[in-house]
Structure 1
Amino acid sequence: MLVQIVSIVFPVFTVIAVGYLYGRKHRPDMFATNQLNMGIFVPALVFSALAGKSVDLAHVQTIALGGLVVVLGSGLLGWPIARRLGYDPKTLLPPMMFKNAGNMGLPLLLFAFGEQALPAAVVLFLVENILHFAVVTWWLGHNAKLWRLLREPVIIAGIAGVLVSLSGVTLWPPLLSAVKIIADVSTGLMLFSLGVRLNTAPFAQWRIGAVGAVATPIAGMLIAYLFCLAFGLSSHETDILLVFGALPPAVLNFMFAELYRQEPEKVASIVILGNLVALLSISLALALRLA
């Protein structure tokens, strides 16, 4: 199991390392590149992940609610931590709330619990992404109007992907392949950009990275466990939600911090250390549920 977890995490850190080494030598300005990624490549990733899968939402409503509670509850638990330690909540809370439910969560849940976990994994990915764009765009984007979120490319892509999935319509394979080619750009570019940004992170900022890295899985697993107890979730549903709670911060947190100039160096530290700590937190969650 540990070998499988390492096999998921290792490619992530390899791309980050390449970005770090390139950025150390060339110091590129990644701002315009990140805007392009958020406007085109990431929306294509969301659409392809949803439109290519058939999901019966009626069977995963409780899991969807659980994902919502884990995300928002992590923010509530993180608020006093940020205030106590003197950190800006806008810097610490988003990485604690919004997890790597796509690049790491989807393959991990499929490996651990089989194909029967796919609908729940996709729905958790969707819930997390919609909340991420809704909350962060409103909070960091100078109190932007929530209705304007409907114009965000990722939200549009998510809605379109769900509609295609629910309709049962099979997209023309060459079209889906074209979207996937565009989508495949997003992950590597996000990780590379994160590596470049780490060159500007002074050592002192790794302190907040350590706090976020430890607090993220602890808060997520605690809230997931309490939710499962309160709502009487089945063993299978508890397995999925507890592992979701243990996931590390999504790289997308760094992209938003870069986009809105919200201390991206500190957020980069939280993301990188959080994914390192994930080797332990995810192993613990899997050991508890698969023992």
Structure 2
Amino acid sequence: MHAPANRWKHSVTLALTVLGITAPVFLLAAIGWGWVRLGLSYDTVFVTRLAMTLAVPALILTALAETTLDPAAVARMALAALTAYGIALALWAVACAAVGAERRTWVAPLAFGNTGNVGLPLALFAFGAEGLALAVVVFACSAIIQFTLGLWIVAGGGSPLRALREPMVAATLLGALMLWQGWRLPAVAANALGLVGQMAIPLMLITLGVAVARLRVKAMGMVTALAAAKLAAGAALGAGTALAFGLEGAAAGVLTLQLAMPVAVTSYLLAEKYGADAQPVAGLVVASTLLSIVALPALLSALV
């Protein structure tokens, strides 16, 4: 007799839980969007440089160096993430070749997602400190591949070794070394870097909102369909890879969540910088971000 009432109560509780997880992410992005719509100035170049050069590397380094996770679990998560992104690149490259689409424009945006701006805070809110540490591992793997092989694809050639100049990559390698060796940061350095790293998530989310508000795109029909395919394929690939590597609990949830992230604004900036067709990529950013407002809560309801 009480079963329908219990199911309804469970559904309401789950909905409120998912809302509590996703609302801070989209509210912070909405602040950036509203800031631009009010006509207020926002120096995206400076803020992005601050975040990507200082705040995000500090977040990555402290998360890896100070984590209490088993190094073997971190290594398995990293291997799973690298495998998943390698498969994603291969699948989207084959798909582009099959339909005659330009590889430089489409492959990298469809393979990589917004594992930083959206993925990190969602993992934190959904799975706690353990989820954030695991999400940083996936984010770091994504960044390494995106700024090596992904950059090579977008640029149409060149040396992938340019990634070694990226502070995020250096922080990832140093953090991985410290985790492997069991080293710890001095207390003063850990506290200082921890404070710097706390800037990363708010800065990235607000800047995401600013970037989306400033994008101007046309012909959204095709890119909306591609954005939906990217989100669905990413979630399926993440879940399948987690199963293949025997990941469970927070690790499986984080990998699935991170692979299902919408297209990052970084993809648009790289396309613009290296002469790929940037407008369709801008459309993918907008469409996938808007779709994620519905898709990510639905996915989280199945994961948490």
Q: What is the Cα deviation at residue 19 of structure 1?
A: 4.0
Residue 247 (structure 1) aligns with: 261
Paired residues of 2:155 and 2:275 also in contact (CA < 8 A): no
Aligned with residue 49 of structure 1, among 59, 81, 96: 59
Moved over 6 A (4+): none
Q: Deviations over 1:160-217 (max 9, x none)?
A: 4545666311343785378559857565445434432x23x2x22x234213321222
Q: What is the Cα deviation at residue 238 of structure 1?
A: 2.0
Q: Which amino acid aligns with 1:104?
A: V
Q: Which amino acid aligns with 1:50?
A: I
Paired residues of 1:44 and 1:157 also in contact (CA < 8 A): no
Instruction: Compute the RMSD of aligned alpha carbons.
Output: 3.2
Q: Which amino acid aligns with 1:213?
A: A
How many residue pairs were aligned? 279
Matches of 2:241 and 2:60 in 1, distance apart? 26
Residue 104 in 1 paired to residue 118 in 2? yes
Q: TM-score, normalised by structure 2?
A: 0.77
Paired residues of 1:214 and 1:274 also in contact (CA < 8 A): yes
Paired residues of 2:238 and 2:260 also in contact (CA < 8 A): no
Q: Which amino acid aligns with 1:121?
A: A
Matches of 2:72 and 2:93 in 1, distance apart? 33
Gaps of 5+ in 1: none
Per the alignment, do residues 74 and 105 of structure 1 end up closer, same or farther by CA in structure 2, a change over 3 Å counting? same
Aligned with residue 140 of structure 1, among 151, 154, 166: 154
Residue 261 (structure 1) aligns with: 275
Gaps of 5+ in 2: 1-16
Residue 285 (structure 2) aligns with: 271
Q: Deviations over 1:79-119 (max 9, x none)?
A: 34434555322222222221222222122122222223232
Q: What is the Cα deviation at residue 133 of structure 1?
A: 0.9
Give secondary structure in 1 for the equivalent of 2:270.
Answer: helix
Q: Deviations over 1:194-250 (max 9, x none)?
A: 432x23x2x22x234213321222111221222233233224432222222222122
State, as a whole percentage, how many aligned pairs show the same letter. 24
Aligned positions of 1:46-125 closer than 5 A: 46-53=56-63, 54-55=66-67, 56=69, 57-125=71-139
Per the alignment, do residues 156 and 20 of structure 1 end up closer, same or farther by CA in structure 2, a change over 3 Å counting? farther
Give secondary structure in 2 for the equivalent of 1:247.
Answer: coil
